[in-house]
Homo-oligomer: A and B are copies of this chain.
Amino acid sequence: MTTTLISGGTVVGATGRGAADVLVDGERIVAVLEPGSELLGAELARSVDRVIDASGKYVIPGGIDAHTHMQLPFGGTEASDTFETGTRAAAHGGTTTIIDFAVQRYGERVEDGLAAWHEKAAGECAVDYGFHQIIGGVDEASLQAMRKLPDEGITSFKLFMAYPGVFYSDDAQVLRAMQVSRETGMLTMMHAENGPAIDVLAEQLVEQRKTDPYFHGIARAWEMEEEATHRAIMLAKLTGAPLYVVHVSAKQAVEQLAWARDHGQHVFGETCPQYLYLSLEEQLGASSEQWGAFEGAKWVCSTPLRSREERHQDAMWQALRTNDLQMVSTDHCPFCMKDQKELGLGDFRKIPNGIGSVEHRMDLMYQGVVTGELTLERWVELTSTTPARMFGLAGRKGAIQPGADADLVVYDPNGRTTIGMPVDAQGNPTGRTHHMNMDHSAWEGFEVDGHVDVVLSRGKVVVEGDEYLGRKGDGRYLKRGLSSYVS
């Protein structure tokens, strides 16, 4: 087995930082050492197979993106990143674990849905991956099947209060599923938007010929996110289920989460980079020469981008600081404009919902450190340590400690990253970064401080500089345990 010493860097964890070397033996971290310790370190550099110089850089646990949708069938098309392309992009961006969503649709067997996702992912991934299970049809059979998921390493399932006729669960179904959550300790993940009400609003907007992407954001009003969040909280209170609300974007929804947490409920929430940086006015309302007002389709996702004027973004950053939100995931769900987003020309309801960000999460969040929104430690906590603890990977992922998988990133705070398509319309190189399988970037032109220099996945260097050194199938399926936060 290969041995590696990452030396000279500043190791950063969720609660502190310090100068330390990290020794990797095979796939795991075996020691964290004082640099130049007479006792151990002096000879170490010579005895290991490889030394990575991290001087002047941060050494952090690999990122964990707990919310991705590779190859998700949606709205008559399929998310454009395969497990291969998506996880490779993730690796480029310093994310060494993803947790994707296996899907059970109404009328299907949960076991079959899960098997299908295993098939999609097996042997394809660049980094380790786990699954949450989407339950699109709560009934006796699926409730039974859910009880067996923990044995499969799946300790969280997702319900939708939106998308009637697709993934939607009504409150009776939510209640029954939450009872299983309470009983098994599995986390209930919730897409919290009042779908039936939103669909009425959307239909009425279309009837009024308000069909541009911008109206996607109008139809999905914050009131309907706040409402569904409150409802999920009360159903969780009634059943005793632990609840994790995905892609929180409205400040009023955060208030609901804060209220529940302050009253002792096991309620958690994530937000995504898009809700921290992008807005209804600027992106959903964007217009371009190529696409006109349909330009905004690039940023159609649900929950939608919120109004900058209403200051939701500020509230999200604050909630990340106050721990009213505990994590940042991407909800990576990429669609190309061509043939995919285009399906919604003339009717925003038909635009496939999703934004691709799995590659850029670590950089975008590090920007929050640069601007003073977050501390360095909180950056690591939000992107890696808490995701690992939240989703049953503690001890293996999310922290630099002996015995943990050697998923490590050497991050250069003095580096610089410009996001965008590497080649412009004229075919000229732009010097921008984008490895996801999309024909555009939702983050085109974003320039941020910081750069992912080296990425190790279970001890193997998979990215160095901007070069991908790994290969398809490096990533393994992760059987997850129960959440550390639910006990």
Measured CB to CB, the residues of A under 8 A from B are 3, 11, 13-21, 23, 25, 28-35, 37-41, 47, 170-172, 174-176, 194, 196-197, 199-201, 221, 223-224, 226-227, 230-231, 234-235, 237-238, 255, 258, 261-262, 264, 318, 321-324, 372, 375, 377, 381, 385, 389, 394-395, 398-399, 401-404, 484, 487
Contact = CB atoms under 8 A, between A and B. Distances in A.
A466 to B, nearest CB: 31
Contact of A199 (B172, B235, B385): B172
A444 to B, nearest CB: 31
A197 B172 contact: yes
B15 A15 contact: yes
B34 A34 contact: no
Contacts of A398: 15-16
Nearest to A28: B34
Given A30-B34, A37-B25, A40-B40, A484 B18 contact: no
Nearest to A372: B487
Number of this chain's copies in the assembly equals: 4
Contact of A15 (B41, B230, B323, B399): B399
Contacts of A40: 23, 30-31, 40
A25 B37 CA distance: 9
A7 to B, nearest CB: 12
8 contacts: A16-B398, A18-B403, A31-B32, A34-B402, A35-B402, A227-B235, A258-B262, A323-B323
B176 A32 contact: no
A402 B40 CA distance: 12
B404 A15 contact: no
Contacts of A32: 31-32, 401-402
Given A16-B399, A255-B262, A262-B322, 12 more contacts: A14-B15, A15-B398, A18-B401, A25-B39, A30-B34, A31-B32, A32-B402, A34-B403, A170-B196, A227-B235, A230-B231, A323-B323
A152 to B, nearest CB: 24
A18 B19 CA distance: 21
A23 B377 CA distance: 24
A219 B264 CA distance: 23
A398 to B, nearest CB: 8
A217 to B, nearest CB: 14
A35 B231 CA distance: 48
A194 B171 contact: yes
Contacts of A11: 401
A170 to B, nearest CB: 6
Kindly list the 8 A-B residue pairs having the minimum CB-CB distance in the complex, ordered from nearest: A34-B402, A172-B196, A227-B234, A30-B34, A30-B37, A31-B33, A223-B238, A171-B196
B34 A389 contact: no
B261 A322 contact: yes
B234 A223 contact: yes
B318 A264 contact: yes
A363 B341 CA distance: 59
A405 to B, nearest CB: 12
Contacts of A194: 171, 231
Given A194-B171, A264-B321, A38 B25 contact: yes
Most chain B Cβ neighbours within 10 Å, of A200, A201, A262, A322: A262
